[in-house]
Amino acid sequence: MGRKARFVQLLGFYLISGTVVYGLVRFLPSLRAVLEPSGTLAEATRQIGAAFGEAGQAGGVGPSDPPTWAVALAAMLGSLLFAAPVAWTYVVTRGAEGTGRSVVQMIVMLPVAVAAVVLVVFGDLALAFALAGIVAAVRFRTTLKDVQDAVFAFVAIGIGIAAGTQAWLLAGLLSVVFNLLAVALWQLDTRRGSGHSGSSALTLGQVLAPGGADLSVTAGEPALVAPLRQVELDTLPSLTERLAQYIKAEALRPQGRYRQLLLLHASRVVDVERAVEGVLTEYARRWRLVDTFPGRDGASTLAYLVRLKRKAEVGEFLERLKAQRGVRALEITPLALRRRS
């Protein structure tokens, strides 16, 4: 999927979500006070209660008192609606480097929790200080090792606070502007190194496994393993995402993870796939064919994830592969996998 499609997907999500919310407000006017920033909590929840036919709450609460569950539900669902595209943006922009499953879950759940907490302390200064003391007494052992992860966490908190105070316009603007900015910066970063000549200094293996780009080894026909041109870089995101799914899954394995990305450029895929199986079994502890896609000059590229044996000689391994009939070129690049936290 191309880079421009990311903007289309984001804008499409916000357009569809906005249309659905507008339709609900149009057919349920009692919800309007909740979505309007100028509406007060009491008036908003009173109208929602009337819409759901609530006459009062147990414990002597009169019909004029607002049902707190209604405004709480609206705040938490609203925060979830604005946080979902933030989590999606995190997965897309961090996919090539590996995403933390706990970070994605945090981005989705944190705004919901923050919105609920804001509703609890809304207008009660003493309760706010008491809650701050309780939170300070809890020891949090989880740390964010990446600055960008921390930025996504701050955005999630901001969305939760805005939703809890019913500042829907602020929550929506924060979600839209941040996601568009994050995707734009990601696109600029992936284009880095292309220069003005229309070509990059990176080979296919170096782009797909950037963590080990300095240790990449190539062999075979130079044209097949030459640095990528700009037009080729524009078609890579979908391939990078598919491969990143396997790499992220490997990062969660406690042991026995794949260590190398092996690319074979061949003229006859079926024959080469059968021919290299014996070599891979001889030199690798584990290996897996994860993708096959068209390459240069009529060749096809086979992408393998490999974990070589400790005593395996990389040079001898590559020579054996290159000697197989139908293999025109190859490239092996180490994978930089994140350890499970």
What pLDDT is attached to residue 55?
41
Task: Return the pLDDT at 114.
Answer: 87
How many CA atoms are closer than 13 Å to the CA of 49, on its beta-carbon side? Answer: 21
Are 240 and 96 in contact, with CB atoms under 8 Å apart? Answer: yes
CA–CA distance, 4 with 336 (Å, rounded to integer): 28
Burial of 71 (0-12, 13-18, 19+ CB in 10 A): buried
Task: Write the pLDDT tens digit of every residue in 12-22.
Answer: 888 998 888 87
Query: What CATH architecture applies to the domain 204-334?
Result: 2-Layer Sandwich (3.30)
Give residue 83's identity as a one-letter amino acid code. Answer: A
What is the distance of C-alpha 132 from the center of its chain? Answer: 31
- What pTM did the predictor assign? 0.50
Report the pLDDT value the prediction gives residue 44, as an integer from 0 to 100: 45
Confidence (pLDDT) at 33 = 59
Ranges of each domain in the chain: 4-191, 204-334
DSSP per-residue string spanning 261-290: EEEEEES-HHHHHHHHHHHHHHHEEEEEEE
Tens-digit pLDDT profile for residues 224-245: 888 877 667 666 666 666 676 6
- The residue ranges of the chain whose pLDDT is under 70 are 1-4, 29-68, 95-100, 123-127, 130-146, 189-200, 210-214, 230-231, 233-242, 244-256, 336-341
pLDDT at residue number 48: 45
What is the reported pLDDT for 143?
A: 62
pLDDT at position 248 is 62
